[in-house]
Amino acid sequence: MSKAGAPRQLAQTMGDLGLTVDILINNVGFGTYCRFEDMDPEREQEEIMLNTAALVDLTHHFLPGMLGRKDGIVVNVASMAAFAPCAYSAVYGASKAFVLSFTEALWAETRGRGVRVLALCPGATDTGFFEAVGSRDKAAGSAMSTPENVVQAGFLGIDRGSSYIIDGRNNYMAAQLGRFLPRRRVALIMERISRPKAH
């Protein structure tokens, strides 16, 4: 999905098979973890394409049909990273902030039209994510959630009609940090928390 045109090809294939999408869960993405200047630029472009462009493209293909039927669910998986600048994962955090903002805007646009839209924001979760990143340093100090808990949070958010939901009470409290502290302070706190052990 990180290649241009891949979401369109998927939508075309599903159309050719006569399949209707009633529930769209955009949960494809990956993160990177190192100093920005040390990251492979091509890898960062793939990250942007997969985490944001593919998600938008898939939503473009399937949301209109849901609206036409006045029935459907769109869940875009964002992250706790959406709520604060993420030093050493700058592109990942920015991409998830995009997902949160985009999804909340769609939630507002589609209210009362039969389609439920939710941004699901998990914290560190016991999946293969950190192995793909190449380091568990990013999860330092985080209590790992389970995929099952994240799914349950998603069901709860949909049932409530929320625009977003954060998995876990501690994660929810941490996400409020930016409401009470200057953004500069939040950025510095996040840098200290996220700093690779080698530094």
Structural domain contains residue 64 = yes
Give yes or no for residue 46 having a pLDDT over 60: yes
CA distance 174 to 114: 32
Query: pTM for this one?
Result: 0.87
pLDDT at 134: 55
Structural domain contains residue 123 = yes
Structural domain contains residue 44 = yes
HSE of 17, CA atoms in CB hemisphere, 13 A: 9
Strands 164-166, 72-77: pairing is unpaired
Q: Are 144 and 126 in contact (CB under 8 A)?
A: yes
Give yes or no for residue 52 having a pLDDT over 70: yes
Q: Which of 101-105, 147-151, 170-174, 189-193 has the highest mean pLDDT?
A: 101-105
Structural domain contains residue 74 = yes
Q: Are 80 and 121 in contact (CB under 8 A)?
A: yes
pLDDT at 140: 47
More confident residue, 122 or 6: 122
CATH number of the domain encompassing residue 151: 3.40.50.720
pLDDT at 6: 83
Structural domain contains residue 1 = no
The overall average pLDDT reported for the chain is 90
Beta bridge partners of 72: 115
Q: How do residues 119-174 score in pLDDT, each as one tens digit?
A: 999 998 876 655 555 555 555 445 678 999 999 999 999 999 999 999 999 999 98
Q: How do residues 17-42 score in pLDDT, each as one tens digit?
A: 999 999 999 998 899 999 999 999 99
Structural domain contains residue 15 = no
CA distance 72 to 36: 39
104 C-beta neighbours (distance < 10 Å), count: 18
Least confident range of 5-19, 102-116, 118-132, 178-192: 118-132
Give yes or no for residue 2 having a pLDDT over 90: no
Domain count, the chain: 1
CA distance 5 to 2: 9
Q: Domain limits at 139?
A: 6-10+21-194
Q: Are 135 and 198 in contact (CB under 8 A)?
A: no
CB under 8 Å to 156, separation ≥6 — which residues? Answer: 165
Q: Are 31 and 43 in contact (CB under 8 A)?
A: no
Structural domain contains residue 16 = no
pLDDT at 145: 83
Please report which helix (H) or strand (E) contains residue 25, including its range. strand 23-26
Residue of 88, 92, 164, 172 marked catalytic: 92
pLDDT at 186: 93
92 classed as catalytic: yes
Nearest to 75 by CA among 26, 30, 112: 26
- Mean pLDDT of the region 35-55: 95
